[in-house]
Amino acid sequence: MTVKNPSIAVEAHNITVAYDRQPVLWEVDFEMPAGKLIGIIGPNGSGKTTLVKTLMGVLTPDSGYVEIFNEPLHEVRSKIAYVPQRESVDWDFPASVYDVVMMGRFSAKKLFQRPSKQDKLVVRQSIEKVGLTPFIRRQIGQLSGGQQQRVFLARSLAQEADIYFMDEPFVGVDAATETAILTLMLTMKDQGKTLIIVHHDLQTVSEYFDEVLLLNTRVIDYGPVETVLTDANLKAAYGGQLNVLSKVGELMKQSEFPVREKEFKNRTVKK
Amino acid sequence: MNEVLDFLLLREPNILYVVIGTILIGASAGLIGTFAFLKKSSLLGDAISHAALPGVCIGFLFAQEKDPVFLLLGSFISGWIATYLVEWITIHSKLKKDTAIAVILSFFFGIGIFLLTIIQGSGMAAQSGLNTFLVGKAAAIQTSDLLVFGGVALLIILFVVIYYQPLKILVFNRDYALSIGLPVKTMEFLLNSAIVMAIAVGIQAVGVILMAALLITPAAAARFWSYRLSKLLIIAAGIGGFSGWFGALVSYTAPNMPTGPWIVTVLSVFAMGSAFLAPKSGMISRIKMGRENANKILVENILKTIYLFCEKEANPLTRSILYTDILEQRFFTPNNFSKGLRWLDKKHMIILDKNSLKLTEQGYEESKRVVRLHRLWEVYLYEKMNLAADHIHPNAETMEHVLTPDLEKLLLKELDHPMSDPHQSKIPK
């Protein structure tokens, strides 16, 4: 019997995910502490977005499981906030800044309730925190890239969560937005929030994050920035594909093998 | 003419039923169609409508009469099968979605026509009027059918009203909906079912061939008028309801007319009218804006040219400037030149003489403003963007017409109130 550690925010246990039988994540296993600013980095196609989506239960892994604050995901949904990639939605959608941020106040449990005074207050405050109050009634398609990213950020703030997952929040934003986002992240960390951020710019990693997870289909290394960003690790992550693994994947795709045999698919029972 | 009055004044109770029924059918299609439109599955809607035909025929064969429940059930089931098949083909084969839609649409429609021909050749007495499902006949709806159709339409409207918020989140950002634990699969099933249902009740009035228009066009027209989803839904429902009512009017007053084409024509008028007339995003207001901009550029350029003559005068307002001198300084087409002068005269910026002009006080101020912006922008390009002095003029030519008073203040502050531009010309105060 293992004693559960209360300071663990996210635990990923042997996660494997495959698209079209090509493994995207392979036996990913780690524990992330609470109250830290953590980066997930790796080359294009290394499974960063897939990992974040799996951690949040947007994708179901082919094997393995995720626990948040030592609880299964569906018990702690309200403690999680999500900032998806900006390009993942259609910004022509008929909604204003206020409308989108208000989405942050809805949860599966109170779908049919009208927004309360408290909800409206939190929405206004969240918009103010990201500096979008002058644009509050504007249609989201008429915002700049940086402003759109801030809309998503404000929505996650409105969720009032404990863990924030953000997928490439710094992509395609202006310098002012980048600074604003970073300042906001540091404030959130000071309030004891956990921030897990997909990032691709190696230059800024040591400047932004406390810990980093170096990913390329499998976990290359995880820990404090200075111990992870070694030449050997970076070479392992960025220096080409794993030959045997990609060949196995190719083979499985061609012959339509399942990624996991059935009895290993489900969550292993913990004693 | 009498029939039209009968219809408009609802003189017979059965007209009232048809009117209520068709309005409900049109409104529900417009409402749920807005979500299909936002989900970008307009074409799928077309495939589902065509796929409803075999269902109608099979429903008829089952009941041996035009029982509304069987017809509805038949079209609902075959519509769902079509939806499912399109998805299945997209996921499990190399074919893309548009190919899958085209294949399913023609396959189901083919089967439908095949069954319809068999039924019509069978000599069953009850079959007469089944072919109205092709192009629609609103007045053929029986009062007893309307209870079923109207009920289903009300159900769809209720569904959208109750599930408004989760549907909005789902359609805007599916991953986010999953992350907050919404029952996405169930909701997608309900939404698709509502779309198929709306089609199943709508084909009676519009017919399977044109049904997609009743689903999608209201939303497409409404999109020009509002960017708020709630208003969009209300406008789309209104347009859908009105076209339903209009279809019934045509069908009642001219029984031999197919209703579908009429409804679609009305819808298209709405859509095209919106595309032209809508404020801001409509074509007419955009053309108007373009002309206003062109005029602004023209008169400001003329003013700027005039200013060059007055610049060095001790008393600029007394200086009379020949037209030929202006045209020598800068080229304007004769047409544009006289048009620009007329406008400036009308606004009391200049006083025209026979072949010369003088600036008025306010004309002088305005010309100073344009030249000031031009030269300020040149300083900005030169100092802040490091462009060479001989490269900045063309860019400043455009920017002077764009810059607002607010930006002017910002420029002045950032450049610390410069005295002259990179060409050593004085910047007028």
In chain B, the N- to C-terminal Cα span, in Å, equals: 72
In this complex, do B183 and A108 lie within 8 Å of one another by their Cβ atoms? yes
> Which of A96-100, A160-164, A193-197, B18-22 is predicted with the least confidence, judged by mean pLDDT?
B18-22
Write the pLDDT tens digit of every residue in B280-304: 778 888 899 899 999 999 999 999 9
pLDDT greater than 60 at residue A2: no
Which residues pair with residue A72 across a beta bridge? Answer: A67
Closest Cβ opposite residue B165 in set A82, A96, A106: A106
Closest Cβ opposite residue B229 in set A77, A94, A106: A94
pLDDT at A269: 43
Within a domain: B420: no
pLDDT greater than 70 at residue B194: yes
Residue B268 shares a structural domain with residue B370: no
Picking from B278, B307, B340, the residue at the C-terminal end of a domain is B278
Q: How confident is the model at residue A258 (pLDDT cuts 50, 70, 90)?
A: low
Residue B315 shares a structural domain with residue B247: no
Pull the structure tokens for residue A49.
């977005």
Distance of CA A91 to the CA centre of its chain: 21
Chain A touched by B162 (CB under 8 Å): yes
Chain A touched by B255 (CB under 8 Å): no
Write the pLDDT tens digit of every residue in A103-112: 999 887 777 7
Sign of CA dihedral A26, A30, A34, A37: negative
pLDDT greater than 90 at residue B203: no
Write the pLDDT tens digit of every residue in B311-332: 878 788 888 888 888 898 889 9
Which residues pair with residue A222 across a beta bridge? Answer: A213
Residues of chain A found within 8 Å of residue B183, distances taken between Cβ atoms: 108
What's the rounded mean pLDDT across residues B98-122? 92
pLDDT at B237: 96
ipTM of the complex: 0.87
pLDDT greater than 90 at residue B130: no
Picking from B262, B278, B294, the residue at the C-terminal end of a domain is B278
Residues of chain B found within 8 Å of residue A165, distances taken between Cβ atoms: 179
C-beta separation of B356 from B369 below 8 A: no
Within a domain: B427: no
CATH number, span A8-264: 3.40.50.300
Residues of chain B found within 8 Å of residue A93, distances taken between Cβ atoms: 38, 171-172, 229
Query: Shortest CA distance to A36 belongs to which of A176, A148, A171, A193?
Result: A193
Picking from B278, B298, B321, the residue at the C-terminal end of a domain is B278
Mean confidence (pLDDT) of chain B: 88
Query: Shortest CA distance to B240 belongs to which of B257, B264, B223?
Result: B264
B174 HSE (CA, 13 A, CB side):
11
Ranges of H-type helices in B311-355: 323-329, 334-346
Q: How confident is the model at residue A248 (pLDDT cuts 50, 70, 90)?
A: low
C-beta separation of B31 from B160 below 8 A: yes
pLDDT at A247: 66
Residue B264 shares a structural domain with residue B299: no
Closest Cβ opposite residue A96 in set B180, B183, B228: B228
From CA B58, how far away is CA B130, in angstroms rounded? 12
Mind telling me how many Å the CA of A111 is from chain B's nearest CA? 7
pLDDT at B206: 86
Phi-psi region of B64 (alpha: psi -120 to 50; beta: other; left: phi over 0): left
Q: Domain limits at B383?
A: 286-414
Residues contacting B25, CB < 8 A, separation 6+:
B149, B150, B153, B201, B202, B204, B205, B244
Mind telling me how many Å the CA of A163 is from chain B's nearest CA? 12
Residue B310 shares a structural domain with residue B264: no
CA dihedral B128, B134, B139, B143 (to 10 degrees): 70
Query: Shortest CA distance to B23 belongs to which of B183, B149, B169, B210?
Result: B149
Shortest CA distance from B166: residue in chain A? A111
Residue B195 shares a structural domain with residue B240: yes
Residue B271 shares a structural domain with residue B317: no
In this complex, do A82 and B175 lie within 8 Å of one another by their Cβ atoms? yes
In this complex, do B228 and A89 lie within 8 Å of one another by their Cβ atoms? no
CATH number at residue B355: 1.10.10.10
3-class SS at A123?
helix
**Token pair 């429609």 in the structure block, residue:** B109
Query: Shortest CA distance to B204 belongs to which of B359, B66, B389?
Result: B66
Residue B341 shares a structural domain with residue B377: yes
Ranges of H-type helices in chain A: 48-55, 97-103, 117-129, 145-158, 175-190, 205-208, 225-228, 231-238, 243-255
Please report, as a single letter, which amino acid is at residue B342: R
Mind telling me how many Å the CA of B427 is from chain A's nearest CA? 32
**Token pair 């169930």 in the structure block, residue:** B186
C-beta separation of A199 from A39 below 8 A: yes
CATH number at residue B242: 1.10.3470.10
Within a domain: B419: no
Residue B344 shares a structural domain with residue B255: no
From CA B231, how far away is CA A51, in angstroms rounded? 38
**Token pair 């649409």 in the structure block, residue:** B105
Residue B326 shares a structural domain with residue B203: no
Chain B touched by A137 (CB under 8 Å): no
Pull the structure tokens for residue A265.
């698919």
Residue B170 shares a structural domain with residue B228: yes
Residue B259 shares a structural domain with residue B298: no
pLDDT at B378: 85
> Chain A to chain B, count of Cβ pairs less than 8 Å apart?
74
- H or E stretch at A19: strand A8-19
**Token pair 């997928």 in the structure block, residue:** A167
**Count of domains in chain B?**
2
